[in-house]
Chains A and B, each alone.
Chain A
Amino acid sequence: MSDASAERRPHYLNVNYGLKSWLLTTDHKRIAWLYLIGVTFFFFVGGLFATLIRLELLTPQGDLVQAETYNKLFTMHGVTMIFFFLIPSIPAVLGNFLIPIMIGARDLAFPRLNLASWYIYILGGLFTLSAAAAGGVDTGWTFYTPYSSIYSNTHVALTVVGIFITGFSSILTGLNFIVTIHTMRAPGMTWFRMPLFVWAHYATSIIFILGTPVIAITLALVALERLFHLGIFNPEVGGDPLLFQHLFWFYSHPAVYIMILPGMGVISELITCFSRKRIFGYDFVAFSSLAIAVLGFLVWGHHMFVSGQSVYASMIFSLLSMLVAIPSAVKVFNWTATLYKGSISFDAPMLYALGFIGLFTIGGLTGLFLATLGVDIHVHDTYFVIAHFHYIMVGSAVMAYLGGIHFWWPKMTGRKYSERLARLAAVIIFLGFNLTFFPQFVLGYLGMPRRYHVYPPEFQVLNVLSSAGASILAVGYVLPLIYLVWSLRYGAIAGMNPWRARGLEWQTDSPPPTNNFDVTPIVVCDAYAYESAEPEIIYPPGRPADV
């Protein structure tokens, strides 16, 4: 069909209007937009905290903010970015929008539960923001006891209640994805024809369901100990402060994979599309996601090598942490091999994808330093750790998120953004990111501890470099906000498949109709069959979509 007729056809955006039609929608595509607004808001709130942290660290003295304020800033930065941006970002926005379309379904299995998840997320976010407004919390996002449960006199209970509530949003989203993927695949969409994006979300959903209840219980125990002085973690009344660390990391390490697995799924889609090739080693990439999800539950003790836990426990956790590195390495090799003899173009999403591979490789390799027992002793709790996990969380997860947003933006909105500005932003983000975080590896090995408001003067030059990088990074993050919003009204009409990509989402209109496909499609070939000119779906004659 022509672009003009696509614009006139009813789709999920123009089917009805008004605030109520959005706030009470059960359409997974509209709920994805609600999440997009939520996570974007929290991203910039978290970014504001980060800006103030980097400004304070320009000088070794504590001259911009007081120690108490600084401690609240890094706590609120971590809490906001992890629980309210990174965890929901790709699954709740892109996953929500794409999973049903990618498998040829009309919606998620439980559309109303999906909407409820968003309200729960926002409710939790408001609790946590109200804690920030009431004066903040200063425990670090890790809430280590007995500091959090006894000694801190900030708003710990309010904050953890917010995180507790938001956890249910993750659990319900995970449940929804698992049921949808099991029961709602279109005819012909076998498990091994599913896009790797869907596999990655399947693995992520397993972690959502198995891990999130543990953090909810753990944080509830912290709140109970604060409010009712139970002796769970407080050693003065017989509690064990290390028990908290075990419980906390039992969730929070897998949570790292919640944040990165969906990103890996995005990268598999981008690399194949922009090199016009099948993914190299589909089975290995798919199963490595599951391997990461399973092994990820068995490595939490590597956060406790200097905590005084048994040396034998540390040894097992070190060994298992080495093993969890392997599936990640397998993915990187397969993505690289996918480029081989491809037809590679450098559209903005591909720049993000290539940047991701480089930064994820550095982030993953430096993870090995932390898994290695002898070396971790020195770099534990220093800026080396900060640099490592920002390479994974920002360099990889945020790059993948932005790459995905750019890639599917024409599908979500029906419009194209300025390709030139988008490429510029991708390059700025890549450069700014490296300037911000690479010096922190050096700082960490020098011994600069994390969460230091005041630091020895010999560390200043590297900190200034880092802050300079952060200002470049900030420009890179604001740019897409501007040109993407601009494109909503002024962007060129995208058409059904502007990237000439394979995948069911590109076989329906942009923006898609409310039911995603007019008729339930029948899938007739593998994912990523870029070598083929054959259609990947056929429509049964005369069968309406909603049989």
Chain B
Amino acid sequence: MSTLGFPLFPEQASTMAGRIDALFFFLVLVSLFFASLICILIIIFAIKYRRRNDDERPPAIPGNLRLEIVWTTIPLALTMVMFVWGAKLYFVINAPPNDALEITVVAKQWMWKVQHPEGQSEIDELHIPAGRPIKLMMTSQDVIHDFFVPAFRVKKDVLPGRYTTVWFEATKPGSYQLFCSQYCGTQHSGMIGHIIVMAPAEFAGWLGGGATTESMAGAGEKLFQRLGCITCHQPNDSGRGPSLVGVFGKSVALQGGRTATADETYIRESILNPQAKIVAGFQPIMPTFKGLISEDGITQILAYLKSLKREQRVQEKP
């Protein structure tokens, strides 16, 4: 490959890369087989049955049911193999492991803003440890973007107004290209960055180094107090709003008998558009915080709410 002076195949740097490439090569093999079969047949027929005199009138062959069945069922069976194999990988790619390290990504025209749970933030760079599953919680401040790391074989759109996730486990230290692959305006091709994969010990050093930063949850707690959320959302259900302790990931009963899962998108909506879903038993009195809180702020609040465990509440009760 390198003898040519330019790459013909991308580097494999994640646990998924080899598995996706295996399926890719299966598809290449099937394609090569059928493309060669058709080409060879056409060439053989074109030579063997070329017109030798202008008055030829070959006998008709109207068709052959058995052949039609054969060339319907064999491709069908092969495509079903592709489908099942591809769907299996897709499920793995869309199910982050529970022990994954969660990092927040906010995309905007035209940069990637990253925040680690420990509080470090980066622009157009993402430092991660090798050998550990990483889950990115992503949202966009404006248009649709897309987080694409070819060496990891991962890609996911990043949408405004909701959260999408992607996960991967890098296998070897190095620097890998990050592209925005959903067209997002003038500087789309400039919305690139690097994923810097480090050995775990080195990564721990990187996290601990530099100025002391506040964790995301800590920043979220401060924001929770500064914006006055705490005045209504008191931990012991005594406020005018529901307690948010332990609510993350749980099912919430809404007015009108519906329920919603308190995931990132629900909480984001409740901050920016509080009237959209009212928790059963409470008045629709919360004002919108649109314009008062940034996307980064919302992710900090989310980190804080995730950190509030049910046990804490029990301890706080006496």
Contact = CB atoms under 8 A, between A and B. Distances in A.
Interface of A: 62, 67-68, 71, 138-140, 142, 144, 146-147, 150-152, 235-236, 238, 240-242, 275-278, 280-284, 305-308, 311, 314-315, 318-319, 322-323, 325-326, 329-330, 332-334, 336-337, 339-346, 354, 357-358, 361-362, 365-366, 368-369, 371-378, 380-382, 442, 445-447, 449-456, 458-462, 500, 529-531, 533
B280 interface: no
Main secondary structure on chain B at its contact with chain A? mixed
A451 B189 contact: yes
Contact of B179 (A151, A240, A323, A449): A449
Nearest to A454: B189
A314 B90 contact: yes
Interface string B120-142: 00000000000000000000001
16 contacts: A67-B186, A151-B142, A235-B161, A242-B159, A276-B57, A280-B62, A305-B90, A306-B146, A322-B82, A381-B155, A446-B10, A447-B150, A447-B177, A450-B181, A529-B60, A530-B57
Given A368-B79, A447-B150, A533-B57, A336 B188 contact: no
Given A330-B68, A368-B82, A458-B7, A380 B143 contact: no
Interface residues of B, number: 88
B148 interface: yes
B75 A326 contact: yes
Given A308-B164, A453-B189, A455-B189, A330 B71 contact: yes
Contacts of A343: 49, 51-52, 56-58
Interface in B18-60: 19-20, 23-24, 27, 30-31, 34-35, 38-39, 41-42, 45-46, 49-52, 54, 56-60
Given A369-B27, A374-B20, A280 B87 contact: no
B27 A374 contact: no
Contacts of B160: 146, 235-236, 241
Residue among B7, B35, B186 with max Cβ neighbours from chain A (10 Å): B186
A314 B282 CA distance: 38
A375 B146 CA distance: 16
A451 to B, nearest CB: 4
Nearest to A315: B87
Nearest to B92: A374
B23 A375 contact: yes
Contacts of A462: 6
B112 to A, nearest CB: 14
Interface string B172-199: 0000010111111111111000000000
B58 A341 contact: yes
Nearest to A330: B72
B186 A68 contact: yes
B31 A278 contact: no
Given A146-B160, A315-B87, A372 B50 contact: no
A485 to B, nearest CB: 29
